Chain A
Amino acid sequence: MRVFKRSIDLAATLFILLFSIGVSASSSSDEEKEGAVNTQEEVESYILHHIKDSHDFHLFSYTNSEGERKHVGFPLPVIVWSSEGLVAFMSSRFHHDDSGNHIVEAGGTRFVKLHSKIYELESGAEEISFDEEHHPVNAHKVLDFSITKSVFGMLLIGVLMIVWFGGLARQYKKKQIPTGFGRILEPLVLYVRDEIAKPNIGHKYRQFTGYLLTVFFFIWILNLLGLTPFGFNVTGQIAVTAALAIFTLVIYTFKGNKDYWEHMLWMPGVPVLIRPVLAVIELAGAFLIKPFSLLVRLFANISAGHIVVMSLIAILITMKSELTVFGSGLLSFVLSLFITLIELLVAFLQAYIFTMLSALFIGMAVAEHDHGHDHEEEDDAEEVRADFI
């Protein structure tokens, strides 16, 4: 009961924090207008902006007594591969501009930031111009290796994981049973090993635990980080989930045994004419459907969760006129508290599902079939013959 109460407290605290960023969001960073977010359209554009990656770490904004917008946060390094080679500068040089108006000259070429993307202006162009669909015509995207907010979050979580689990590993040198925080981490590690790796892969599970454990905790902690008011949305970036899915694809493709490839390319036990058809289906399944399902599931769940939580918080603003501040605040509080609790579950669940499916795909690729098909056929033939005799 006490634990339950505590978790409620925790959730409430979390909500207040979320709520505070909601408010700061409401008055912050729709960069195009540089002003507060008060209308439904502004809220929508703010939310869509949030679920994208960003080049600076923005905490909150406020309007000071002189009526100036102030942004609180810190810049992150921008590293891009441009026509002039690798160029690096701090994101503060864009001055929070996200509409392509502010031109940064670095490394002998010019850059603008438009909708969270860095564009390089064509040589000679003085300012960015758009066609009628609002696509830039005299600028092109560059390969962006920046330490963006997502990369920053991943690095943070990577360091955190190394510190936590490295610490746990060191504890075993002195004692059999870990103490302190390690006592929380150990059952989680054992959970992944016993509930995800072992049942899905079988006795060869050991060599894949490195990947599965890393991916599980990486996704889970990043999902949880996404629920904090810092506004990370790392596992909601399609590039991140795509990279993770491709890791799984590479592992089960290169670790797949002879049986796996035989069943994929030249399915035994079916008429020869059907075999090529099956091979096409199996290849599509292995190289497109499986990784695509992995990457889309994680990306969509986390992005959707962020959108829902932020929309519910935004009720405070959008329904203020209908329900008064108190009414909309209460409604927003209750709904987003509820959804945030569910999101806590989803954070774990998506990490679990991603890891579990990865383990399942790997397990299918390395499974030994004992040539069961041949034996079964023989047995059947024997039985049939016995029936006739």
Chain B
Amino acid sequence: MEQLLNDFSPGLFVMQTLIMLVLIFIMAKYAWKPIMNSVEKREEGIKDALDAAEAAKKEMQNVTADSERLLKEARAERDVLLKEARDIKASIISEAKEQAQVEGDKMIKQAQATIESEKKAAVADIKAQVANLSVEIAEKVIKQELSDKDKQEKLVEDMLGDIKLN
């Protein structure tokens, strides 16, 4: 202990304190502060860059997911549209068919009615002509045959028979 105290040099202590104070001051001002600042700035930069990369990655994933979703939607829409178009086509065709059927039926009916009425008219005409003819024949027969009774009767019977045949 005495040896230690004897070795202790107060002058060296003072010199060391002075040198250390000056050194700390200079180093802190001209070395440590700029070094620490730059290193921290760099570390922050690296951290920011990493964060940005991570964000970009996420963004990218979002974009991909979005486009996929859009594609899916578009496909679904296309399918719906196609299906609708098909339905419309089918409905149009069936409608047209129906309408044609209806129209056809109507025309057929009209034709039938016309034919019927024409027929009726024709039959009526024929009947009238037959009647006139009959009357005329009858007149002639009567005029010719009224002289002979037998002939008259025979005539009537014949005529009647003719009519029935008709």
Partners in one complex: yes
B127 at the interface (CB under 8 A from A): no
As a 0/1 sequence over residues 20 to 38 of chain B, the CB contacts with chain A under 8 angstroms (1 = contact) are 1011101110111111101
Is A52 a contact of B35 with CB atoms below 8 Å?
no
Shortest distance between the CB of B11 and any CB in chain A (Å)? 4
From known contacts A213-B27, A214-B24, A218-B23, infer whether A165 and B12 are also in contact, taking CB-CB under 8 Å.
no
Is A238 a contact of B7 with CB atoms below 8 Å?
yes
B115 at the interface (CB under 8 A from A): no
A146 at the interface (CB under 8 A from B): yes
Residues of chain B contacted by A240 (CB below 8 angstroms): 12-13, 16
Is A53 a contact of B9 with CB atoms below 8 Å?
yes
Is A176 a contact of B27 with CB atoms below 8 Å?
no
B165 at the interface (CB under 8 A from A): no
From the candidates A53, A80, A147, A172, name the one contacting B38 in the complex (CB within 8 A). A172
Is B35 a contact of A189 with CB atoms below 8 Å?
yes
Interface-facing stretch out of A31-39, A242-250, A255-263, A316-324:
A242-250
Query: In chain B between 20 and 61, which residues have their CB closer than 8 angstroms to a CB of chain A?
Result: 20, 22-24, 26-28, 30-36, 38-39, 42, 45
Shortest distance between the CB of A296 and any CB in chain B (Å)? 9
B17 at the interface (CB under 8 A from A): yes
From the candidates B9, B23, B27, B34, name the one contacting A144 in the complex (CB within 8 A). B9
Residues of chain A contacted by B33 (CB below 8 angstroms): 169, 210
A189–B20 CA distance with the chains assembled, in angstroms:
18
- Count contacts on A: residues with CB < 8 A to the other chain: 47
A162–B28 CA distance with the chains assembled, in angstroms:
10
Query: In chain A between 220 and 252, which residues have their CB closer than 8 angstroms to a CB of chain B?
Result: 237-240, 242-244, 246-247
Is A169 a contact of B34 with CB atoms below 8 Å?
yes
A92–B108 CA distance with the chains assembled, in angstroms:
148
As a 0/1 sequence over residues 63 to 98 of chain A, the CB contacts with chain B under 8 angstroms (1 = contact) are 000000000000000001100000000000000000
Is B16 a contact of A154 with CB atoms below 8 Å?
yes
Residue of B4, B16, B19 contacting most chain A CB atoms (<10 Å)? B16
A28 at the interface (CB under 8 A from B): no
Is A210 a contact of B27 with CB atoms below 8 Å?
yes
Shortest distance between the CB of A111 and any CB in chain B (Å)? 13
Please name the residue on chain A nearest to B45 by beta carbon. A176
From known contacts A211-B24, A218-B23, infer whether A169 and B16 are also in contact, taking CB-CB under 8 Å.
no
Is B8 a contact of A239 with CB atoms below 8 Å?
yes
Shortest distance between the CB of B18 and any CB in chain A (Å)? 9
Please name the residue on chain B nearest to A115 by beta carbon. B6
Is A239 a contact of B35 with CB atoms below 8 Å?
no
Query: In chain A between 106 and 157, which residues have their CB closer than 8 angstroms to a CB of chain B?
Result: 117, 143-148, 150-151, 154-155
Residues of chain A contacted by B42 (CB below 8 angstroms): 176-177
A52–B4 CA distance with the chains assembled, in angstroms:
11
Residues of chain B contacted by A238 (CB below 8 angstroms): 4, 7-8
B128 at the interface (CB under 8 A from A): no
From the candidates B17, B35, B36, B45, name the one contacting A243 in the complex (CB within 8 A). B17
Shortest distance between the CB of B20 and any CB in chain A (Å)? 6
Please name the residue on chain A nearest to B35 by beta carbon. A169
Residues of chain B contacted by A151 (CB below 8 angstroms): 12, 15-16, 19
A276 at the interface (CB under 8 A from B): no
From the candidates B16, B22, B23, B36, name the one contacting A239 in the complex (CB within 8 A). B16
A109–B26 CA distance with the chains assembled, in angstroms:
37
Residues of chain A contacted by B161 (CB below 8 angstroms): none
Shortest distance between the CB of A233 and any CB in chain B (Å)? 11
A202 at the interface (CB under 8 A from B): no
Residues of chain B contacted by A161 (CB below 8 angstroms): 23, 27, 31
Is B13 a contact of A242 with CB atoms below 8 Å?
yes
Residues of chain A contacted by B9 (CB below 8 angstroms): 53, 117, 144, 237, 239
Is A210 a contact of B24 with CB atoms below 8 Å?
yes
A239–B23 CA distance with the chains assembled, in angstroms:
17
A158 at the interface (CB under 8 A from B): yes
Residues of chain A contacted by B13 (CB below 8 angstroms): 239-240, 242-243
From the candidates B7, B19, B30, B34, name the one contacting A155 in the complex (CB within 8 A). B19
A170–B24 CA distance with the chains assembled, in angstroms:
18
Please name the residue on chain B nearest to A213 by beta carbon. B32
29 CB-based A-B contacts, threshold 8 Å: A53-B9, A144-B9, A144-B12, A145-B11, A147-B15, A148-B12, A150-B12, A151-B19, A158-B22, A161-B31, A165-B35, A169-B33, A177-B42, A186-B39, A189-B32, A209-B36, A210-B28, A211-B28, A214-B23, A214-B24, A214-B28, A218-B20, A238-B4, A238-B8, A239-B12, A239-B16, A242-B13, A243-B13, A247-B17
A residues with a Cβ closer than 8 A to B are 52-53, 80-81, 117, 143-148, 150-151, 154-155, 158, 161-162, 165-166, 168-170, 172, 176-177, 186, 189-190, 193, 206, 209-211, 213-215, 218, 237-240, 242-244, 246-247
